[in-house]
Amino acid sequence: MAARPSSGRPWKLLGRGAAPAAPRVLPDPPRRVLLASAGVPFGHEVLRRVIDLATPEHAKITVISIARVHGTSFGFPNPGLQPNRLEIEEQRRIIAEAVEALRSEGFEVRSAMSKARNAAKMIARWGKAKNFHAIVVPDPERPRWRRVIEGDLARDIERRCGIPVHAVPVPAPSPGGARAH
């Protein structure tokens, strides 16, 4: 019979198995950049930041925009809570403008659109799953109370995936969008 360790901890809590994985080394400058938005249009400052990050290694860029799902109805998906046709078209327009601007600078660009309740979670999943080295997000101006309630997108993404997130301040979007937020 094996002797119990002398650490005083119960036998079950002592970990058995492989050592923890080595931390992922991210190249500097990045070779794969994710330009992500939670429905906010990319401004010139955001595109300039992506170009500055991607230029030294001529990085591959992926543009993604997340359309917001507004909740559930007793745990079941409800079509009225999904993004409507106008919101989807707005997301596609945001992506198309960014892709066109980046391709005109000579970069290899991919694009995607997704729907999610939690944009930070979806962007972090994309960052980890596709092995991106940097993430750039627009950070619209908001009052402090709204930032406290909604959370900080850049901080939430970095907390979830550990990839460096570059939040670029942009002016607040106009209130005349497809759906009031």
Summarised one tens digit per residue, pLDDT across range 82-101 is 888 999 999 999 999 999 99
Residue 24 or 157, more confident: 157
Cα–Cα distance measured from residue 157 to residue 124, given in angstroms and rounded to the nearest whole number: 5
CA-atom Rg of the chain in angstroms? 20
pLDDT-derived band at 70, boundaries 50, 70, 90:
confident
Task: Write phi, then psi, for 155 (nearest 5 degrees).
Answer: -65, -40
Q: Please tell me the least confidently modeled range out of 7-16, 69-78, 81-90.
A: 7-16
Least confident among 17-31, 61-75, 78-92, 140-154: 17-31
Amino acid identity of residue 136, one-letter, is: V
Give pLDDT, residue 64: 97
176 pLDDT more than 60: no
More confident residue, 27 or 3: 27
Tell me, what's the pLDDT at 181?
44
| Burial (CB count within 10 angstroms: exposed 0-12, middle 13-18, buried 19+), residue 152 | middle
Place of tokens 């970095």: 158
**Residues β-bridged to residue 165:** 135
**Interval 105-128 mean pLDDT:** 94
* pLDDT computed for residue 91 by the predictor: 94
Q: Give the single-character DSSP code of 73.
A: B
Report the pLDDT averaged over residues 70-75: 71
Q: How far is CA 37 from each of CA 41, 55, 56, 115, rounded to the nearest angstrom?
A: 7, 21, 24, 12
The model's pTM is 0.79
